[in-house]
Amino acid sequence: MGSWSLTHWLIVLVIVVLVFGTKRLTSGARDVGEAVREFKKGVRGDEEAKRLADERRDEAATRERDRDASDVDRDRR
């Protein structure tokens, strides 16, 4: 009696949709997503996020440059 079955959760979901409507539920979900995103930014910090993005971009450029250099060496042989 203490556990809820799938049927109970489906009935609750239908009632919630009927009461609030899909438009209000989707906008609420979007608001929660934006809040989580902002929280992550605040925890990580904007400066750190930019630094990490710059490091990833630099590493990708280095890999590309190394691959191009190895292609040139291979062509010379």
pLDDT in tens, 5-25: 999 999 998 998 899 888 888
Sorted by where each begins, the domain ranges of the chain are 45-77
How many residues make up the chain in this entry? 77
Q: Count the Cβ atoms, other than its own, within 10 Å of residue 40.
A: 10
The mean pLDDT value for 36-65 works out to: 82
- What whole-number distance in Å separates Cα of residue 59 and Cα of residue 35? 31
Residue 23: per-residue pLDDT: 87
The predicted structure's pLDDT at residue 32 = 92
Residue type, position 2, single letter: G
- Both tokens of residue 4? 């809820």
Q: Is the pTM of this model over 0.75?
A: no
